[in-house]
Structure 1
Amino acid sequence: MLKRYTMLAAALGAAATAQAQTPAPETAAVQATITRFFAGMRAGDSTMVRSTLAPGAVFHVLATRPGQPVRLLPESPSDFVKAVGTPHKEVWDERITFERVLIDANLASVWTPYEFYLGNTFSHCGYNSFQLVKLAEGWRIAHIIDTRRKEKCK
């Protein structure tokens, strides 16, 4: 009897490990939208970036400067998309990892640490917090807020 429970516990443990390593289809779809956003940014492809955004998307940055209070600053998604598509000398390369993806029905929240490079030169780092919604055409980014700093990166 004990042997049967041990085998069952081992099987359940293996199944849990396999599940943790393989993203659920919705998690993979959410991650694909964010990956496409940054691929478009690296490629300078404003159409690709725009395709990942929900209508009415909102961008914010938490601005911090030594000796000053933190400020919440809006950024224009339209201006960002336009800047991505405007030729620039260096590739905009934001390197992220998916630390946490939470999904309930048609809402997803994603936490991604990042390092941003202009070409091969480190610029800044921080964390992105994405809010995505599942629309008829799939997962789209509704809100991005991020922190930015030049030191104390992961």
Structure 2
Amino acid sequence: MKKILTLSLSVLAFAQLSAQGPNADGYEQDKAAVKKVIETFFDGFHKQDSTIINGTVADHVVLQTTGRDKEGKTRFRNEEFQKFIQSITSIPDSVKFQEKLTSFSIQVDRTMANAWVGYEFWLNDEFSHCGINSFQLVNFDGDWKIIYLIDTRGRADCGVK
């Protein structure tokens, strides 16, 4: 009986310690805040509003993309964030574009977060491509900011019909 009591107390103590780990307090709130930053980023993207977009990113943000070309070779490139902003804000009104976010997987630890966000990109109501946006964010004294974004792009295995 003493062994069972000791084992039970040990399990309870472990469960209590696990519940009080670094992410216990505010974890769900942080995940919601990270998701909100990403949704705000795309709100600015769709509105072609550089002020909204810039409000979601840190001073120095890294932007990259990867995918396969027509020959199946992996391509990878860095993009200058200000050129990205210029390309978005200069899209003519006659062009309709939408990046539909299809899934979110968010992890948070203290001041760092990662969000794996599935998407489909539509141009003039026609499917263009799909992939994953991988965001890295840092919490700067209560304010989550995007510091890094890399995306994949492709046309296959998108689930689009």
TM-score computed with the length of structure 1 as normaliser: 0.79
Deviations 1:116-145 (A, max 9, x none): 112322111011111011113611111111
Q: Distance in 2 between matches of 1:79 and 1:87?
A: 13
Shift of 1:68: 4.5
Shift of 1:87: 4.2
Corresponding residue of 1:48: 52
Residues 1:142 and 2:152 aligned together: no
Residues 1:124 and 2:136 aligned together: no
Q: Distance in 2 between matches of 1:150 and 1:39?
A: 24
Shift of 1:67: 3.1
Shift of 1:99: 3.0
Q: Secondary structure at the match of 2:139?
A: strand
Shift of 1:151: 2.2
- Kept in 2: contact 1:60–1:74 (CA 8 A): yes
In structure 2, relative to structure 1, the CA distance for the partners of 1:87 and 1:99 (3 Å cut) is closer
Residues 1:84 and 2:91 aligned together: no
Corresponding residue of 1:34: 38
Deviations 1:71-107 (A, max 9, x none): 3210111111122222423233111133310000110
- Kept in 2: contact 1:113–1:126 (CA 8 A): yes
Q: Distance in 1 between matches of 2:125 and 2:111?
A: 37
Unaligned runs of 5+ in 2: 1-26
Corresponding residue of 1:62: 66
Unaligned runs of 5+ in 1: 1-22
Residues 1:101 and 2:106 aligned together: yes
- Taking only the aligned residue pairs, the percentage that are identical comes to 33
AA aligned to 1:71 is R
Shift of 1:147: 0.6
Corresponding residue of 2:119: 114
Q: Secondary structure at the match of 1:130?
A: strand
Corresponding residue of 1:18: none
4+ runs deviating over 2 angstroms: 66-69
Q: Distance in 2 between matches of 1:83 and 1:35?
A: 19
Higher Rg: 2
Across the two proteins, how many residue pairs are aligned to each other? 132
